């Protein structure tokens, strides 16, 4: 990837992956495809479409192959799939994904709960995946989950996170994500970890994945931005959460992030009005209200008629 301009944010939409994976209702395949096509139209350069994981672990995403087969691929958009193991990578290659997102937690306890194995076993599988994908037209991103804290173990030392990033880079991945899986990060911690990882990965290759579990999602984005990061995951409506982490709730909300970026003079290439329209349709798909705020309040420029003045 070429350099990212200083006044630009890259937003990767993850609602149909991180968002739908935790929903108890199964969103119909045709609805998923329609939503992803509409997200492509709204201007995303990157969409995490689904996961090639065990259908027993995440039944909500059991239709990943059908979804990839059904979506319209907008030229210039990278369609990503989460992959936990070599079997997932085979399925992702067969579905012709543009990018594989490998995920392992830095916390051993969370990785055992989420992936049924140690982080070392996950990364050993990634080594085999890198051999399989060599020469295939697919890029590879690798995520450090629970990078800002684990709901079972608590704090994760920064040097352990950096060591996992270095292992990923030594495998030859194209990009790295630091994920705050259950919203434990704070802005100063984010600034420190971004400062430690950015020299290794570069702004073109580093993505931050925040959850708004404790209300610090956009504060963490701002801290990461000020430390030089430019790529962020976000979910329409603020859907999202890890099914294997107690109390997990939504990702940072795409339209709230895009509204903040545009108000601050940062370009995203995204059509905010279209995103608000799509977000307002989410309760129909998932059967409940969603946490995003801008879809409820409107954009700051959407003004209201002044109240009639009382006669003097
Ligand atoms: N896709 C589909 N099926 C898979 C698979 C994959 N990537 N990996 C394993 N399976 C199947 C196996 O074929 C086997 O099927 P069978 O019972 O019909 O023989 C079954 O799952 C068990 O395989 P095993 O290798 O023992 O896996 P496991 O049960 O230990 O589960 C994972 C390991 C990683 C597959 C599972 O924990 C998982 O999918 N985790 C993802 C969790 C997630 O998405 N979290 C949120 C995002 S971070
Ligand atoms: Zn997440």
Rounded mean pLDDT of 143-168? 98
Q: What is the DSSP string of 72-114?
A: ---TTPEEEEEE-SHHHHHHHHHTT-SEEEEEEESSHHHHHHH
Rounded mean pLDDT of 21-34? 98
- Mutation pick for ligand 1 pocket among 17, 84, 150, 240 (CB with most ligand atoms within 8 Å): 84
Q: What is the CATH number of domain 10-297?
A: 3.20.20.70
Report the half-sphere exposure of 103 (CA within 13 A, side-chain side).
26
Is residue 301 part of the annotated active site? The answer reads no
- pLDDT digit string, tens, across residues 93-117: 999 999 999 999 999 999 999 999 9
Contact present, 128 and 84 (Cβ < 8 Å): no
Q: Is the CB of 89 under 6 A from ligand 1?
A: no
Contact present, 139 and 99 (Cβ < 8 Å): yes
Q: How far apart are CA 235 and CA 257, in angstroms?
A: 10
Q: Is the CB of 53 under 6 A from ligand 1?
A: yes
Residues with CB under 5 A from ligand 2 (ion): 18
- pLDDT digit string, tens, across residues 125-151: 999 999 999 999 999 999 999 999 999
User: Tell me, what's the pLDDT at 175?
Assistant: 98
Q: Which residues contact 207 (CB under 8 A, 6 or more apart)?
A: 12, 141, 175, 176, 177, 178, 231, 232, 233
Rounded mean pLDDT of 167-186? 98
- Ligand lying closest to the C-alpha of residue 104: 1
Measured over the CA atoms of residue 84, residue 177, residue 11 and residue 303, the dihedral's sign is positive
Least confident segment among 3-7, 59-63, 116-120, 204-208: 3-7
Ligand 1 atom 19: residue of nearest CA: 54
- pLDDT digit string, tens, across residues 268-308: 999 999 999 999 999 999 999 999 999 999 999 999 999 99
- Is the pLDDT assigned to residue 1 strictly greater than 70? no
- Is the pLDDT assigned to residue 180 strictly greater than 90? yes
Q: How far apart are CA 60 and CA 188, in angstroms?
A: 35
**Could you give the 3-state DSSP secondary structure of residue 282?**
helix
- Ligand lying closest to the C-alpha of residue 18: 2
- Its pTM surpasses 0.85: yes
Contact present, 71 and 37 (Cβ < 8 Å): yes
- Ligand lying closest to the C-alpha of residue 19: 2
Least confident segment among 48-52, 181-185, 288-292, 308-312: 308-312
- Mutation pick for ligand 1 pocket among 15, 54, 124 (CB with most ligand atoms within 8 Å): 54
What separation in angstroms does the CA of 292 have from each of 131, 187, 262?
A: 41, 20, 16
- Is the pLDDT assigned to residue 310 strictly greater than 50? yes
CA–centroid distance, residue 150 to ligand 2 (Å) = 13
Contact present, 70 and 78 (Cβ < 8 Å): no
Averaged confidence pLDDT in the chain: 97
- pLDDT digit string, tens, across residues 216-248: 999 999 999 999 999 999 999 999 999 999 999
Q: Is the CB of 57 under 6 A from ligand 1?
A: yes
Ligand 1 atom 46: residue of nearest CA: 242
Of the residues 150, 225, 242, 253, which is catalytic? 242
Q: What are the sequence ranges of the domains in the chain?
A: 10-297
Contact present, 227 and 194 (Cβ < 8 Å): yes
Instruction: Provide the 8-state DSSP code for 221.
Output: H
Q: Is the CB of 88 under 6 A from ligand 1?
A: yes
User: Tell me, what's the pLDDT at 2?
Assistant: 52
Start-to-end Cα distance in the chain: 63
Where residue 40 falls among pLDDT bands split at 50, 70, 90? very high
Nearest atom, ligand 1, residue 88 CA: 7
CA–centroid distance, residue 272 to ligand 2 (Å) = 22
Q: Is the CB of 114 under 6 A from ligand 1?
A: yes
């Amino acid at each position: 990837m070429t350099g990212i301009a200083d006044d630009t944010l890259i937003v990767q939409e993850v609602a149909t992956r991180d968002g739908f994976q935790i929903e108890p209702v199964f969103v119909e395949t045709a609805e998923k495809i329609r939503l992803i096509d509409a997200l492509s139209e709204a201007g995303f350069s990157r969409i995490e479409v689904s996961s090639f994981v065990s259908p027993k672990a995440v039944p909500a995403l059991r239709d990943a192959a059908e979804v990839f087969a059904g979506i319209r691929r907008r030229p210039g958009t990278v369609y990503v799939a989460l992959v936990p193991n070599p079997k997932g990578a085979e399925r992702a290659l067969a579905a012709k994904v543009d990018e594989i997102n490998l995920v392992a937690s830095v916390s051993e306890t969370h990785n055992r709960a989420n992936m049924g194995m140690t982080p070392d076993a996950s990364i050993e599988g990634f080594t085999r995946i890198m051999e399989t994908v060599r020469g295939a037209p697919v890029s590879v991103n690798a995520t450090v989950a629970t990078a800002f804290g684990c709901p079972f173990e608590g704090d994760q030392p920064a040097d352990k996170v950096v060591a996992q990033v270095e292992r990923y880079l030594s495998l030859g991945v194209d990009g790295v994500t630091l994920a705050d899986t259950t919203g434990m990060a704070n802005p100063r911690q984010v600034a420190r970890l971004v400062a430690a990882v950015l020299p290794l990965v570069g702004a073109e290759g580093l993505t931050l994945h925040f959850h708004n579990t404790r209300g610090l999602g956009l504060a963490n984005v701002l801290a990461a931005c000020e430390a030089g990061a430019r790529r962020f995951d976000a979910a329409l409506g603020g859907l999202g959460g890890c099914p294997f982490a107690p109390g997990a709730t939504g990702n940072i909300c795409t339209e709230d992030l895009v509204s903040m970026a545009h108000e601050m003079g940062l370009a995203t290439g995204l059509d905010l009005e279209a995103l608000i329209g799509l977000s307002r349709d989410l309760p129909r798909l998932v059967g409940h209200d969603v946490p995003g705020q801008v879809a409820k309040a409107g954009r700051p420029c959407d003004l209201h008629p002044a109240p009639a003045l009382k006669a003097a």
